[in-house]
Chain A
């Protein structure tokens, strides 16, 4: 266990080394927040509500979703690279579990990002952009729980795609597609309730809405009561399912590597 904590710690340290990158990133998030704010301001200038959402609710949803989306991707790219350049062989010679190590590093990444990026920018948004708090404290607690599940699902999905690098030659296309599908289906761009009925039904059966839409909808009160609990229940199911799927796929991949030599 200790070694994995160390991995998380080192990863935080690595982040500290790239401060130019950090500031560039912060700046781009700030810019995005401004664009979003003025875009929706313009949309709401001619009406007071869309699908039952007032401006406050909408901007809260969009901003919170934007932050959450940054946490739902993971270290998949790192894993894919390791596989592609063959360094995975060296990783397998070490006395640790590669996936656990990557997740530890990912946690390190996300903690740093939360403290240095999301927290200050989030506070800024609260002060200047009419963002509201959850209506009830139960909603707030459920949101936190649901957000952690969403991040878990996103991280595992990301790793799952990356493992496919063992079988495919070019992963880049797959990654781009994954990004697009996630931002669309997860509700990171707009609340899923704005989409047609059939689309909402379809995404009920996909893991994507569990990443962003469910937690943010709980936060903003789109999902309440039994509906909220059901949604969280489905998140738990997805979290467990992806965890198992990842293990199975990984052991298949290991068999392929160790028997066929990659």
Chain B
């Protein structure tokens, strides 16, 4: 459904010296600097897949999405969405895709939600019967009933996002790009939105490419994630894989009854675990990191309790969140390539 080969995008940014002199100078002579936002991305996404596309701010996510939607022309490389080259046939591509940009509204500001949908019906040339069916379904799932008569500008953020979501799926697009669809929303709305996306995928086989900083979104919706950093794909594979690859690393935080300046590990743990440097001045706390491969959590706790009097303990979960954080932090360029994981 989505084929991307060796995709690159370079921006040319005008460089300008600071101050008024720089401004005047730049009128006559401009220096340009090339910024490589995307440096050779490959990805193949099949119809009906739901893929999380994640990366730190400025990693090149939006640039990629813009090229997939046809708004940007790539510097080099190949893009095909549903057999169409988006930047060459923008309008044709547009009728097969849906999109949400969490920060911008796509509904029409001044008219009631229902009118917005009516207009979308004409824009996407949706047959009347299909339109009615789809809308009825969406109203039911997203609880839009009471909102239909209200102008968009009067809706709350959560209400608006539900309406946006319906708008993006209304013409039953083959591919939907969701850019931060749950940003700033409360948990209840998030849950509803995730359920809706999954339902659309199950019923219409919609391919979903989801960009988000909310790892809960990814974990609940996607089977596969693609992580990009600094314009390169640094991981492409299933969530399960990445969890077992990085997720064996566990951390247990102990809160001791006595204050200890220098904590010494019990003999049996010395080889397999290590003490993490303290983040605060509290001498009651000790954090121990270890790998599930070497030792089980129960054993670690057992040994620690034998040696110290433990008041409380928490086991940090092997969440995708912590893993991704680690990957971003390490900038694991060159160390883990997706070829090795598969």
Q: Is A260 an interface residue (CB 8 A)?
A: yes
B104, A90: Cβ atoms under 8 Å?
yes
Q: Is B16 an interface residue (CB 8 A)?
A: no
Stretch at the interface among B95-103, B210-218, B253-261: B95-103
Kindly provide the distance from the CB of B246 to the nearest chain A CB, expressed in whole angstroms.
34
Kindly provide the distance from the CB of A89 to the nearest chain B CB, expressed in whole angstroms.
5
Residue of B nearest to A17 (CB): B110
A-facing mask of B98-119, CB < 8 A → 1, else 0?
0101001010101100010011
B73, A90: Cβ atoms under 8 Å?
no
B73's partner among A87, A89, A259 (CB-CB below 8 A) is A259
Q: Is B125 an interface residue (CB 8 A)?
A: yes
B207: chain A residues within 8 A (beta carbon): none
| Complex alpha-carbon distance, A87 and B71, angstroms | 12
Kindly provide the distance from the CB of A106 to the nearest chain B CB, expressed in whole angstroms.
15
A10: chain B residues within 8 A (beta carbon): 108, 111, 115, 119
B123: chain A residues within 8 A (beta carbon): 3, 6, 94-96
Q: Is B12 an interface residue (CB 8 A)?
A: yes
B87: chain A residues within 8 A (beta carbon): 258
Query: What is the size, in residues, of chain B's interface with A at 8 Å between Cβ atoms?
Result: 32
Question: Interface size class for chain A?
Answer: 20 to 34
A2, B122: Cβ atoms under 8 Å?
yes
B148: chain A residues within 8 A (beta carbon): none
Q: Is A71 an interface residue (CB 8 A)?
A: no
B70, A90: Cβ atoms under 8 Å?
no
| Complex alpha-carbon distance, A173 and B295, angstroms | 71
| Complex alpha-carbon distance, A17 and B66, angstroms | 35
A87, B122: Cβ atoms under 8 Å?
no
A6: chain B residues within 8 A (beta carbon): 118-119, 122-123
Decide: A93 near B99, CB < 8 A? Known: A10-B108, A258-B72, A260-B12: yes
| Complex alpha-carbon distance, A97 and B149, angstroms | 28
Q: Is B273 an interface residue (CB 8 A)?
A: no
Q: Is A225 an interface residue (CB 8 A)?
A: no
A258: chain B residues within 8 A (beta carbon): 71-73, 87
| Complex alpha-carbon distance, A96 and B125, angstroms | 11
Q: Is A43 an interface residue (CB 8 A)?
A: no
| Complex alpha-carbon distance, A95 and B98, angstroms | 11
Q: Is A35 an interface residue (CB 8 A)?
A: no
A13, B115: Cβ atoms under 8 Å?
yes
A-facing mask of B115-140, CB < 8 A → 1, else 0?
10011001111000000000000000
| Complex alpha-carbon distance, A147 and B69, angstroms | 41
Q: Is A7 an interface residue (CB 8 A)?
A: yes
Which residues in window 136-182 of B have CB below 8 A to A? 151
Q: Is A196 an interface residue (CB 8 A)?
A: no
A259: chain B residues within 8 A (beta carbon): 72-73
Q: Is B90 an interface residue (CB 8 A)?
A: yes
A96's partner among B63, B91, B97, B104 (CB-CB below 8 A) is B91
Residue of B nearest to A255 (CB): B73
B66: chain A residues within 8 A (beta carbon): 89, 261
A96: chain B residues within 8 A (beta carbon): 91, 123
Kindly provide the distance from the CB of B310 to the nearest chain A CB, expressed in whole angstroms.
54
B106: chain A residues within 8 A (beta carbon): 90
B71, A260: Cβ atoms under 8 Å?
no
Residue of B nearest to A18 (CB): B110
Residue of B nearest to A9 (CB): B119
| Complex alpha-carbon distance, A6 and B118, angstroms | 9
| Complex alpha-carbon distance, A258 and B85, angstroms | 14
| Complex alpha-carbon distance, A7 and B94, angstroms | 18
Q: Is A180 an interface residue (CB 8 A)?
A: no
B95's partner among A13, A95, A257 (CB-CB below 8 A) is A95
Q: Is A123 an interface residue (CB 8 A)?
A: no
B108: chain A residues within 8 A (beta carbon): 10
Which residues in window 74-110 of A have CB below 8 A to B? 86-87, 89-90, 92-97
Which residues in window 1-47 of B have CB below 8 A to A? 9, 11-12
Decide: A95 near B94, CB < 8 A? Known: A10-B108, A261-B11: yes
| Complex alpha-carbon distance, A201 and B75, angstroms | 49
Residue of A nearest to B96 (CB): A95
Decide: A14 near B110, CB < 8 A? Known: A87-B104, A257-B71, A260-B12: yes
User: Taking each of B9, B72, B95, B111, which has the highest tally of chain A beta carbons within 10 Å of its own beta carbon?
Assistant: B72
* Further contacts, 14 of them, CB under 8 A, given A86-B104, A90-B106, A93-B71: A2-B125, A6-B122, A14-B110, A14-B111, A89-B66, A89-B71, A92-B70, A93-B70, A93-B94, A95-B92, A96-B123, A258-B73, A260-B12, A261-B9
A selection of 10 A-B contacts at a CB cut-off of 8 Å is A2-B125, A3-B122, A6-B119, A10-B111, A92-B90, A92-B94, A94-B123, A95-B92, A257-B71, A258-B87
A-side residues, CB < 8 A to B, are 2-3, 6-7, 10, 13-14, 17, 86-87, 89-90, 92-97, 257-261
In the A-B complex, the 8 residue pairs with the closest CB atoms = A95-B95, A95-B94, A6-B122, A3-B122, A258-B73, A14-B110, A3-B123, A95-B91
